[in-house]
Amino acid sequence: MSEIRFPLPDVGEGLTEAEIVQWRVAPGDRISLDQVFVEIETAKSLVELPSAFEGTVSELLVEEGRTVDVGTPILVIETDAASGMSSPDAAPAPSEAPVAAPAAPVAASASAAGDGGGAVLVGHGSSGPGQSRRRRHPAPGGAHEHLAAPPPPPAPAAAAAPAAPAAPRPAAAPATAETPRLAERHDDGVPVIAKPPIRKLAKDLGVDLSRVSPTGPIGDITRDDVIREASQASVFRNIQTPEVPSDRETRIPVKGVRKAIAAAMVQSAYSAPHVSVFVDVDATRTMEYLKRLKASPDYAGIKISPLLIMAKAMLWAVRRNPTVNAQWTDDEIIVKHYVNLGIAAATPRGLIVPNVKDAQDMSMVELATALEQLTLTAREGKTQPAEMQGGTITITNIGVFGMDTGTPILNPGEVGIVALGTIKQKPWVVDGEVRPRFVTTIGGSFDHRVVDGDVVSRFVADVASIIEEPALLLE
C-alpha cells in the first residue's frame, strides 16, 4: 500500500483559498478515479472536486466549514501498490469499453504522481515524457495488437457438474446520486423519473415534479423542464413568514461569497465615480414580440423573457456607443470590441455576475439559450470562476423582485451596468389619449472617468428605443 495526500487544487485563475462545504466520502470508503469526493466554495462558486486517485480513504484532514489555502492537503488515500494511480489516458471511458477483455493496465506509481508539483484538478497528474495514449480498439492483427491482454479461453460447452439452479433476482438497488428515484407519480400514473440534482432544483424553486411534463430521453425530467414550470420570481417569493428566533442576535461569519461581494462593492463604489440616469419606456411592443417568439417553433423549449430583448438592446447600444464597453486603468482606457455580457444573478449563496462570452456574435436563439443556461447554473450554485471573469458590461434585472428602478453599483473593472425594472401596466399617453400600456423603467450607473453625460444619455436612450420598438433590431 502507498499513501497519497491530496492537496486543494486551484480551480480558478488565481484562486488562493476555498472553504470545505461538504465531504462526499468518509474514512474507510472506497474511492474511484474521477469520483466527486468533496464540495468546496470559492470566492463566488460551489465546485465539486473529482478524485485524481483510486483507493481507500484513510483520513479527512480538514473539517467541513473550514477555509484552507490552495495546496493544503485535505485528504489521505491509500492506493494498492500494484496499481498505484490509474492513468486516465489509459482507462477507456465506460461508453467506449470494448466487449472483449480490456487492455492490460498501464501502471503509474503514486510517488511519481506526487512529484508533479502543483495540484491538478482535471487530468489527474502529469504524464511522463514520451507517454502516449493507447489505442482502445486495436484492429485484429494490427501493429498494436500486442498491447491488448490475450482473451480468456472460451468456456467449455458443457460443465462437468450439473448446473446450479438459477439464483433469485436481487432486490433493486436503492437510489443513488446517479440513479433516479421513482417515488412520485404523475397524474396519469407514470412514475416520476428525476435525478437528485433535478429534485433539489425543483425543491428550491417550489416545483411539484408530479406536475412537470418530462422531455428527457428515457421519460425523465430535465433541468429545462423544471425551469419552464417555475416562474422566475418564485425563487425569491417568501411563502411563509418565519417565526422570530429565540436568540436575541444572529452572527453570520463574513466569508466565502459574502466576503467577496463586500470587497468588490467597496472597491467599485469608492474607486469609480458613479453617475446614474433613468428613463421610463413603453414596453408594450416588446411584450407583443415576446408572445410571437414563444409561439415560434424555433424557440420551442427555450425560456423567453424580457431579459432576452434587454440583452439584445444592450448589444445594439454598445455597438453605437462603444466607450461604455471599456475598462479604466490609471494609464489608459481600454475599449473592448467584444461583449462578455454580465447578468447579475441573486442566488441562495449571494449575488454573482456570470457573463455570456462573445455575446455580440450570437443569434437571438443562441443568446436565449445561453441566458437560460447561465441563470439555471447560477441558481444551482454551479457557476465556475471562469464564467464570472472577463465581463465587459452588465445587466441587473431588478424587475423580477417587483422593483421599478435602482442605482446599481458597477461590477469591478467595468464602465457600465444597466438595470431593467418591472414591466407592468400603467396609464400612458398615446396620441393624446391616456391608455393602459406595459411600462418599465431603465436605469444605469456608469464610470464618469470614462464616459461623459452625453454618452451615458445616448446609450440608455438607445437601449430604451429597442425596448420600445424591437423591430429596430432588424436594421
Q: Map out the domains of the chain as residue ranges.
A: 2-95+104-124, 179-230, 273-474
Candidate list 144, 146, 186, 448, residue with the active-site label: 448
CA-nearest of 63, 106, 99, 58 to 83 is 106
* pLDDT of 189 over the 50 cut: yes
pTM greater than 0.85 (yes/no) = no
Give the model's pLDDT for residue 43.
67
* pLDDT of 307 over the 70 cut: yes
Query: Is 124 one of the catalytic residues?
Result: no
- Say yes or no: domain 273-474 is CATH 3.30.70.330: no
Which CATH number is 2-95+104-124 given? 2.40.50.100
How confident is residue 210, by pLDDT bands cut at 50, 70 and 90? Answer: confident
Give the model's pLDDT for residue 14.
64
* pLDDT of 101 over the 70 cut: no
Percent of the chain with pLDDT over 90: 37
Report the half-sphere exposure of 459 (CA within 13 A, side-chain side).
27
DSSP 3-state assignment of 419?
Answer: strand
What single-letter amino acid sits at 252?
I
> CA-CA distance, 409 to 391, in Å (whole number)?
15
> CA-CA distance, 72 to 351, in Å (whole number)?
28
Give the model's pLDDT for residue 322.
96
Quick one: CATH architecture of 179-230? Irregular (4.10)
Q: What angle do CA 441, 444, 445 make, to 5 degrees?
A: 155
User: Distance of CA 103 to CAs 86, 92, 106, 137, 147, Å?
Assistant: 13, 9, 9, 9, 7
C-alpha cell at 372: 437560460
Average pLDDT over residues 14-18: 76
Give the model's pLDDT for residue 19.
85
Question: Please, what is the angle between helix 196-205 and helix 364-379, to 10°?
Answer: 90
* 433-455 residue pLDDT tens: 999 999 999 999 999 999 999 99
Q: Which has the minimum average pLDDT: 146-155, 192-201, 344-353?
A: 146-155
Average pLDDT over residues 51-67: 88
> CA-CA distance, 193 to 191, in Å (whole number)?
6
* pLDDT of 303 over the 60 cut: yes
> CA-CA distance, 466 to 312, in Å (whole number)?
8
Q: Which has the minimum average pLDDT: 171-175, 262-266, 334-338, 439-443?
A: 171-175
How confident is residue 315, by pLDDT bands cut at 50, 70 and 90? Answer: very high
C-alpha cell at 60: 479527512
